[in-house]
Each structure stands twice: as C-alpha cells, then as structure tokens.
Structure 1
C-alpha cells in the first residue's frame, strides 16, 4: 500500500499518531498548517526526545524512529506520557509495517521515561491498512473534518485554529 497521499503529501508517523487523537489535526498537518512551535507541550516532547532518542536515528520517507535495539530487533517510540497510548501504538505499528516492507521484521516498544513504562507493540498489518485509508480519506477531503470538542482541546497547540 502506498504511503503517498498526493504527489506532495506522504503519510508520516505523526499523521497516524494524530489520527487517533483528532482527525482535524491530520488535515491541518497534511496542508503544512503547523501549530504554534513554542507551545509548551511541543517543547516538552522535543526535550524528552533529545535526551532519550538514539543519536543515530533510523528513518525512511515519512518516518524517523526514536530508538532501536539491534539485538532484539525492537523499534522504540519515546513518549512524554502514557496519555496517548492508542496513538503511540498506531504510530509504532505503522513503523513496523514500513520496516517490514523493506525486509526488516521487528517488534515495537513504547517507552515513557517519566514513568519508566515500556509497552510492547506487535505488527497488525490490517490495522495499518485501515489507518492509512482513513488518513487518505481525511487528507483528500476539501475541508477539514468538523470540529468536535474532546478532552484534549483545552491544551492543544491547534486550539486557536478550531476554537479561536
């Protein structure tokens, strides 16, 4: 299945992650409408990645893996909290799918350093295909999905786009 949404848009791990939180964010990101870069949540995430990510990252078009344990063939996705585990699982699952496409069969792990939590992720190809189709549908829409107030809106870096 192609990761190209359009000639100018590739499915990224971030789009898959946002799909599970707020589809409207997927539409914004795919159009290069970026949130306020100085938002505290974004800065915190960047700081955690700078501390815990591997110095040499594995990447393919549309994805950059935070860490990799070679001896166990384990992809590691680092998150600042366990609040969005469903999103992190979908993102990690996408990475596992992409790596399998290039011949590397791996397991996945979500690491939450603040709590010392590690969550295992095993590839679910059917779920990745469904997620890719959903992202493509959102991105190819002329308008963003309707606003839906969810519990994350209050602290969202995009809240001014939706509710401002």
Structure 2
C-alpha cells in the first residue's frame, strides 16, 4: 500500500521529508492513457524521445503562443506555461487523448493550490485544431485528481506492471515492443 494523498501533500510541502514518489504531469497523463506505461516509466524504462511523434509535439508546444506565455519550472520537475492573463496553459498537438491532457493540467492547478497556495485557472489548447478550452479546479475535479494521485502511487508501488490490456493506440505507443514481446 502506498501513502495517502494527505501524506503525499505533507511530504511535498516539507522538503526535509522528500516523498518517495514525486508525481509529475507526465505521470498523470500516462496514468490516464495506460497504467502499464506509467509503471515502466516509474522504473526509468524510458522511450526514445527522438521519434517523430514526440518531436512533433515538442515543436507544436515550442512554437505556439510564443508571444503570450512564459515558462516556469516549479520544484525542479513541473514545467508550467503561464499566459499573459495569468492562466496556466497546457498545449497538445491533438484532442485525441483529451482526458489525459485535461487531467495533466488539473494536476498542475491542484499542485499549485495544495503545495504552494496559489489559485489559478487553466487553458487547454490544441493549436493545430485551433481550439482552446478553459479548465478550472473545483470540488469534482479535485476529487478526480486526488483519486488519480492515489492510483499513481499504487501503480508505481506495485512489484509488477499492471496487466496487459490492448487499447486502440497500442500500435503507436513507444512502449509497444516492451509490452508485446
């Protein structure tokens, strides 16, 4: 059994406590895409970051909204983009995996509020689709994020990866060779 969300928050707020698992936005995204992928990543089994899909996403992120956002790193592991309006922005190539992107942004908003006492709203942007969506942290989304945190902590604490589960995007996943060998 992993730690509770309250224990996680307490450890994050106190640098001397150094939480065993430091959750990142990418971990939240992976949790909602594929828990097996999250487990591999938590073991430092990483993907090739030079693939076309990864580079395309990086290019869209780096070239969109250049004049209206600034990037900040929080606690050495969370990279936030802040719009001129003060909203936190998450940029994605496509809305195909909308829930993981939304949850990643909600995690950033939750982290700012719970760990640093900073209240912000968010914007989820898909520049190639020319769409943006406002995202806010409320009671319902807070409960979803806290359930996600518990799920992540349980997943990474497990001795073995979650069961193999065929999903529509497995064929384009960069972990497919590990999963399906």
- TM-score of the pair, normalised by structure 2: 0.82
> Number of residues paired by the alignment?
162
**How far apart in 1 are the matches of 2:175 and 2:89?**
27
Please list every run of at least 4 consecutive aligned residues from structure 1 whose deviation after the TM superposition is greater than 3 angstroms: 3-9, 53-56
CA contact (8 A) 2:70 2:82 kept: no
**How far apart in 1 are the matches of 2:171 and 2:177?**
10
CA contact (8 A) 1:36 1:158 kept: no
Deviations 1:80-125 (A, max 9, x none): 1010110011000000011112122111111001011102211121
SS at 2:63's partner residue? helix
Q: Which residue of 1 aligns with 2:42?
A: 30
The 5-angstrom pairing of residues 104-123 of structure 1 reads 104-123=118-137
Q: Is the deviation greater in 19-28 or in 37-46?
A: 37-46
**How far apart in 2 are the matches of 1:56 and 1:68?**
5
Q: Is the deviation greater in 20-29 or in 32-41?
A: 32-41
1:64 paired residue among 79, 88, 93: 79
Q: CA deviation at 1:32?
A: 1.0
Q: Which residue of 1 aligns with 2:149?
A: 132
Q: Which residue of 1 aligns with 2:3?
A: none
Q: CA deviation at 1:38?
A: 2.3
Query: Please, what is the CA RMSD of the aligned residues?
Result: 2.0
**How far apart in 2 are the matches of 1:99 and 1:58?**
12
Which has the larger share of helix?
A: 2
Q: CA deviation at 1:78?
A: 0.3
SS at 1:57's partner residue? strand
Deviations 1:2-57 (A, max 9, x none): 26798553100000001111000110111111012222211111111221265741
CA contact (8 A) 1:16 1:94 kept: yes
Larger Cα Rg: Structure 1 or Structure 2?
A: 2
Residues 1:12 and 1:46: Cα distance change in structure 2 (over 3 Å): same
